[in-house]
Structures are given as structure tokens and as C-alpha cells.
Amino acid sequence: MRTKINVNLLKDFLSEEDFRQIEPFIVHASKLLMEKTGRGSEFTGWLHWPSETLQNKSLLNEISTCKDNIDTINPEYIVVVGIGGSYLGTKAVYDALKDNFAEGKNRKLLFAGHHLDPVYHRQLLDFLADKNFAVVVISKSGTTTEPAIAFRLLRNLLQKQHGDDSSRRIVAVTDAKKGALRKLADKEGLQTFVIDDDIGGRFSVFTPVGLIPLALAGFDITSMLEGAAEAEKELSTHFTLEDNMAMKYAAIRQLMYQKGKPIELQSTFYPALSTISEWWKQLFGESEGKENKGIFPASLTFTTDLHSLGQFVQDGLRVFFETFITVKELKSDIEIPLLDDDSDGLNYLAGKSLSFVNRKAESATQLAHSDGGVPVIEIEIPNISEKSISELLYFFEFSCAVSAYALNVNPFDQPGVEAYKKNMFALLGKKGFEDLRKELEQRLND
């Protein structure tokens, strides 16, 4: 793996003895994962998915045919409809790789169905009204309300634009048999891809969930799978903290938790990586936060947030540790010019690159936070590319499963997500929820 973990600044917080003591628990947690003997092991299909998908080329071939079909329509925009694990992985990779301003070689992805904001969806429909667009609708269960509503709205618009021809512009990613989306896709003859039963949403970025929209946008999904497969190979081979960085990261997290640090901040000086933090928050939050346990994942983007939450991190309640995601080589840089007029006082930086300044700000922040009592670790990726991002994502998936097992919770379920849904269905007047509706309305009106 080309991803590295740097623990130099942990020395004041963790000792060799701490690592020695926790190692057997982390080794045991890794065994539960690898031998598929832990809780929820029926959802570990993601573990060898990257290498298996590369070996058996059939999915890549199918995706390539799907892309050819969509290319004949040549849509300017692909609207990705999904929420949670059916949304964040694609958005994370897309935001990391896209050009912020230029119309690069990639197609633009737009997102819908990841919330219920009417203004956003009204604006999206108005924007798309005269545009050439296609839709990738993703829902493993096929019954999630937010994407179902967004898909209904977009399907309606496509119908108005293209009549019977609209189904050519839709790709559905869902369960092989179950759910309303599967029923609808079969009835309308939509092109579909399957999310396997043994892979949960937040572990699905390397399945059609992430691969389809990213391929349609023109990203190199073979490279993505190769990056993930490299991480898979390495993390499935060595089982010591020294040789397995996912285990090491899991060990650090658990030690921090035991030492009274129940919050992990993921920080980066590279805003392109901020959505990876959003994906990471779901991955770890939904996997670990249960049975009244778990490390709360939060994220910061620097230097922006140094001018807001920076004060709290430096000086506030000492409840967190901080993981920096950094990048070794950037694809472009910019030099600070020397000016005759030095009224802004910046000539001392003239000739230096902006990456130099950013890196110094990063080191300065790491040292300051560490001195302020925040244990700091750094994860470095070699560059921002399909391959490196995927290696990082797989590393987090592996580490998350190990960390959750070490915490003695099921990494692969999410029982808590149902609570709001039940209440929402009742308040919306869905059939079968009549009694709960009465009870909730009374509580709201009391």
C-alpha cells in the first residue's frame, strides 16, 4: 500500500505498552472479520469484492456496455439519486477527483434524494427542465423514502421530455428481487445492476453503487478497483499492528476511546477530500455507534475551520483525538509572485509554492493541537487519484470493521436508523401506522 500512517505525535499520549496490551484484542477482532465468525458476518461480501471483480471481468464489461448506451444519448448531467451508503461513496470520490471550475473531461454529476429539501429539488427540476440528462437511481432496499420521492420527480420530468424513450436514460441499482424500485425497474424495462445481499450500503462504494455513476461520469473505475484490491491484498495478509496499518489505526482508536477520547476529528488541509470525511463519518458512525457505545466521528476542513472551530480544538473541552488526511504529491501547484509593491507584506513568501505554505500550516496546526492536548495522527495518501482514493476508502472499511469488533458491536447493522422512519411514516399517514400517528400527534400537540 502506498497509504501511510504517521504516529510520531502520539508519543506523549500512547506508550509501547499500550499497543502491546491492545494488540491481542485487535488481532482477535481481525480474525472475526477475516474468518467471518463475528456478528453480522453475512455482510462481509465487500471484503474480497475488489479483487474478485477485477478477476471476473463480467461486471466491468456490463458497466462498459451501460456506459456505451448512455454515451449515445450524450447527457450533459448524470443525476445520482440515493442517500447514505447509496450516495456518499460516489460523492466522496467525485468531489475528490472533479475539477472545481473547469468543464473537464468528466461529465457532471448532480445529486438528489439525499435529503427532503423542497427548494433544492425545485431548483434541480427547474435547472434540468431544458437539459439533456440521465438518472442513476440507487437504493439497496428499493424502499427508502428520500430517493424514492426524488426519483419520482425526475422520472416525471424525463417522461415529459422524452415520453416512452425516457427509460433509456435511467439506470437503477437495487436488490435482485425485493423492493419497490426493483418492481418498477422490471415493469418499465429499466437497465438494472444488483447490489449483493452480503454488502451493506456503507461498504458498497466499489460495487455498482459507486462504480456505475463514476463510470458514467468518465472516471477510471478499473483503477479504483485496483487501488482497493491492493489494500485488500495487503490488509488480508499481515496480522500484526506493525504490518497492518488498518489494525494499527483501529488499535489507536480503541486506545483513545479507553483513555477518555470518545470523539475523533478527521481533519484535512485539502478541501477536495472533505466529502471523504462525510463518507467516513457514516461508515464509522453507523458501524460503531450502538449499544450506548462508539467513537463519535466529526470532521474539519482546514485552514477554513481553523478560523471557526480551531479555537475549540486548541483550547476547549479535551474529549477528542484528531486524524489528519494528507496528500504527498499534488497534481498542480501555484507560485506566489514577487511584487515591487510589498504593501501586503508577503514578499517573504515570494517564489514559494502555495503547497509549501499549506504544508507549513498543516505541520504548525498538528504541533499546536498536539501541544494543546489533542492526540494527533496522520494518514498520508500518495496523490489524489482514483487508485489512491480507493486504497484509502478500502483501508477505512477494513479498519472500521476491526474497530467495531474490538468495541464488541456488530459493524454491519444499523438498528437505530429505523426509529425516525417509523415516526415519519406515521406522521405522513402511511397505511399501517395509524395508532402510532395518533400517539405522536398527541405528543406534538400537548
286 is catalytic: yes
Of 112 and 374, nearer to ligand PA5 (C-beta) is: 112
Of 138 and 251, which CB lies nearer to ligand PA5 in the complex structure?
Answer: 138
Considering the complex, state which of residue 22 and residue 195 has its C-beta at the smaller distance from ligand PA5: 195
Q: Residue 244 or residue 282: which is nearer to ligand PA5 going by CB?
A: 282
Catalytic residue among 16, 105, 187, 307: 307
Q: Contact residues for ligand PA5 (CB under 6 A)? A: 83-86, 139-141, 144, 147, 200-202, 286, 414
Scan for cell 487501488, then name that residue.
227
Show the cell assigned to 52.
474478485
> How far separated are the first and last CA of the chain, in Å rounded?
58
Contact 278, 91 (CB under 8 A): yes
Out of 160, 183, 421, 438, the active site residue is 421
- Using CB atoms, what's the residue nearest to ligand PA5? 201
Which residue among 146, 230, 232, 286 is the active-site one? Answer: 286
Which residues lie closer than 8 Å to 160 by C-beta, 6 or more apart?
A: none
> Rounded to the nearest whole angstrom, what is the least distance from the CB of residue 147 to ligand PA5 in the complex?
6
Output 181 or 313, the one with its CB closest to ligand PA5: 181
- 290 annotated active-site: no
Cβ–Cβ under 8 Å, residues 92 and 275:
yes
Q: How far apart are CA 131 and CA 154, in angstroms?
A: 12
Minimum separation from the CB atom of position 179 to ligand PA5 (A) = 8
Three cell numbers written together for 420: 425516525
Residue 298 CB, shortest distance to ligand PA5, in Å, is 18
CB of 413 to ligand PA5, least distance (A): 9
Phi (first) and psi of residue 155, to 5 degrees:
-65, -40
Active site residue 421: yes
Question: What is the rounded CA–CA span in Å between residue 399 and residue 137?
Answer: 29
CB of 202 to ligand PA5, least distance (A): 4
- Give 3-62 as a DSSP string: -EEE-GGGTTT--HHHHHHHHHHHHHHHHHHHTT-STTGGG-TTSSHHHHHHHSTHHHHH
Residues marked active site are found at: 286, 307, 421
